[in-house]
Amino acid sequence: MGAMNDNPQLSPPIAAKKPSSVTFHGITVSDDYAWLRDAEYPKVDDKEVLAHLAAENAWFEARMKPHQATIDALFKEMRARIKEADKSVPQKDGDWLYWIEFEEGAEYKKWWRKPVAGGPDELILDEPALAEGKEYFRLGAISTSRDGKLLAYSVDDNGSERFTARIKDLATGEHLPDEIPGTLSGLSWVAGDKGLVYSLANEQWRTDNARLHWLGQSIDQDVELFHEDDDGFRVSASLSAAEDWLIIGTGDHETSEAWLVPVEAPLTPPRLVKARQKGVEYDVDLRPAGEGGTLFIHTNDSHENFRLATASFDKPEEWTTLIEGSDEFYLTGFELFRDFYVVDGRIRGLDRIEIRYYDDPARIEPIEFPETSYTAHLGNNPEFGQTVLRVGYESMVSPASTYDFEVANRELTLLKVQEIPSGYDRSLYATERLEVAARDGTKVPVSVMYRKDRRSPGPLHLYGYGAYGIAIPPGFSTTRLSLVDRGFAYAIAHIRGGDDLGRAWYKAGKLESRTNAFTDFVDVAKGLIDCGLTEEGRISISGGSAGGELMGAVINSDPELWGAVVAHVPFVDVLATMLDASLPLTPGEWPEWGNPIEDQAAFELIRSYSPYDNVKRQPYPPLLVTAGLNDPRVTYWEPAKWVARLRELKTDDNELLLKTNMGAGHGGKSGRFESLKETAEEFAFILWQMGV
């Protein structure tokens, strides 16, 4: 590992200590680095704050500069695995075939279509042109009107996740004067393509509304169709499968509610499906039939792994079970089509897609896949009358593949396999799914890949997330090969807090059970050592956001295990954030973490594991931390404060680097190659610290 400072012109920035404190439940929490939060946030123009972030960035640049050749080599090989001129498989929607295309060297894609009946290709949206001259660019929603004449889309050009929606006339290529700033939502066409439904982000970056914009009218005349009064809930709107109903959904991490509005009469008062009930989640779709049709409801009201129920339009609150909840089958979602419906789920953590039939409930036809560890999903299937389903498939060793599944004869046709221009020989690699016993006896799944010629024990990279019920699928990654081809095994720990093994798995890693996620990760690492794959100190680890919180927790508890740690936009100042109801996400996060303002037990539990609050005087492993100045999810000061406290207390000479993207947000830099540069930096740091 490099010495702490072999550049006399620069030294690690030491943040000023400015004592401050807060008191809740009679307990006082001190914070010497609270000043790093700009008092005018979300504006960040405090000169002392910006100077400190600039000094950290300069230190990052200085320490990484000697490794620029490695970064360049990694970037070159990662880029060489991407087919630069690439296009998706066209998909029919109405009278048109739609696809996306990347041109050679382009950071962003172009959106194309052509008439099904024949005719020239039409460029409908040019992302490279929209992104030109911008440090950051991200397309949010994109939606073609039902008659195919108009395109609504939204753009964020600074990473703040506040999108401006615009409407393009596809016949002329001109934009309509209509422009809606501050959106954070999809865009749904209603009323014969005369209206657009969207949600605005309020000052706290929360979508508490569904609004209707009439084309050609001023946005100050837009109508609020629905308003949510609970600060913790978020509102979204989408169209039903047959596009005849607008479904307005509202909810937090554990409770939801849905309302229905006819697409052709959007000013009709929304009709409630079923009143919210704490702890009950549900989502709905409608199968048209005469007046209103049949509601399909996906809910966890009677089983935590969800059931599928139906209801009549006249009595939407009376639900009849169609598919029972099951301990074995985790029912994650469904899609309705004219002649059949599709159920998505997981069995023992592996994806399962089932075709089912309205007129024969006993007829269940799963789509079969060849590998023992994989991830599969329904692709874009826009037509209600679809008879052939677009399906995506990949594994840790199988590049992403696009299939068409012909429902009538159950035939799977391969349309496209992700091409790796620099070459990829699948036979050189192996993947397996292990189970490691956690300290409480729970078996935790681990997906691992490595080269068959790898020597064990060797270096190993372990990735984890473990929050919000988000599963980490064992999918393919071209960047990952840069570690694996250098002798690393790459492992994904499917720890509690995600819903990889069902809803109970998620619940066992949240609220009062939160620390299971951290101990599972540590125990997986120790299990991988015990089975001979690696050794203590030869494990690099990474995680982002709530996965960054995981990184912070495990370096406090077991620093000696890790040879290098990368924490992306890490949620490490958990207690202070959950105590601040003015922050964008906080009220909606209380069902996930607990409300420490009102609940002393939640306060004490969060305080006991919050990474920032538990930094102590001990050696820490080498650490690379990233942040985004415009990040509304994990605010920039969380990683900045954490690094400042680590610099103050850690007793080692290991590297500690903080890189803040000054023009980006939660996702880092935009663009397919710009983001690769950040991965190349991350991997170069890992290789440097691991001595590989």
Q: Pick the catalytic residue: 52, 298, 666, 670?
A: 666
Question: Is 357 in a helix, a strand, or coil?
Answer: strand
Q: Pick the catalytic residue: 285, 613, 631, 670?
A: 631
Known catalytic membership, residue 238: no
Q: List phi, psi (to 5°) of 389.
A: -100, 135
The DSSP-derived string for 139-166 is EEEEEE-TTSSEEEEEEESSSSS-EEEE
Measured CA to CA, the distance from residue 593 to residue 217 in angstroms comes to 43
Measured CA to CA, the distance from residue 548 to residue 542 in angstroms comes to 7
Measured CA to CA, the distance from residue 668 to residue 300 in angstroms comes to 35
Measured CA to CA, the distance from residue 289 to residue 292 in angstroms comes to 6
Bond preceding residue 120 cis, omega within 30 of 0:
no
Measured CA to CA, the distance from residue 669 to residue 661 in angstroms comes to 7
Beta-carbon-side half-sphere exposure of residue 651 (alpha carbons within 13 Å): 7
Residue appearing with tokens 């042109």:
129
Query: What's the residue count for the chain?
Result: 692
What stretches of 278-340 adopt beta strand conformation (E)? Answer: 282-287, 294-299, 307-312, 320-323, 329-336
Measured CA to CA, the distance from residue 117 to residue 422 in angstroms comes to 37
Known catalytic membership, residue 545: yes
Q: Pick the catalytic residue: 545, 558, 613, 670?
A: 545
Rounded to the nearest angstrom, the gap between the alpha carbon of residue 415 and the centroid of all alpha carbons in its chain is 27
Measured CA to CA, the distance from residue 139 to residue 292 in angstroms comes to 34
Measured CA to CA, the distance from residue 286 to residue 689 in angstroms comes to 55
Strand partners, 334: 343
Measured CA to CA, the distance from residue 572 to residue 588 in angstroms comes to 18
Measured CA to CA, the distance from residue 534 to residue 266 in angstroms comes to 60
Strand partners, 102: 86
Starting from the edge strand earliest in sequence, which strands make up the sheet with 256-262, in order? 234-239, 245-251, 256-262, 271-272
Is the Cβ–Cβ distance between 527 and 437 less than 8 Å?
yes
Measured CA to CA, the distance from residue 231 to residue 269 in angstroms comes to 22
Report which of 105, 195, 79 is spatially closest to residue 146, judged by C-alpha positions: 195
Angle between helices 674-690 and 47-64 (to 10 degrees): 60
Measured CA to CA, the distance from residue 447 to residue 475 in angstroms comes to 10
Q: How far is CA 63 from CA 6, 10, 66, 538, in A?
A: 9, 9, 7, 21
Q: What six digits make up the tokens of 582?
A: 């003015």
Measured CA to CA, the distance from residue 181 to residue 185 in angstroms comes to 12
Angle between helices 515-530 and 546-557 (to 10 degrees): 60
Q: What six digits make up the tokens of 523?
A: 């125990």
Known catalytic membership, residue 298: no
Is the Cβ–Cβ distance between 332 and 345 less than 8 Å?
yes
DSSP 498: B
Report which of 649, 630, 617, 634 is spatially closest to residue 576, judged by C-alpha positions: 634
- Annotated catalytic residues are 545, 631, 666
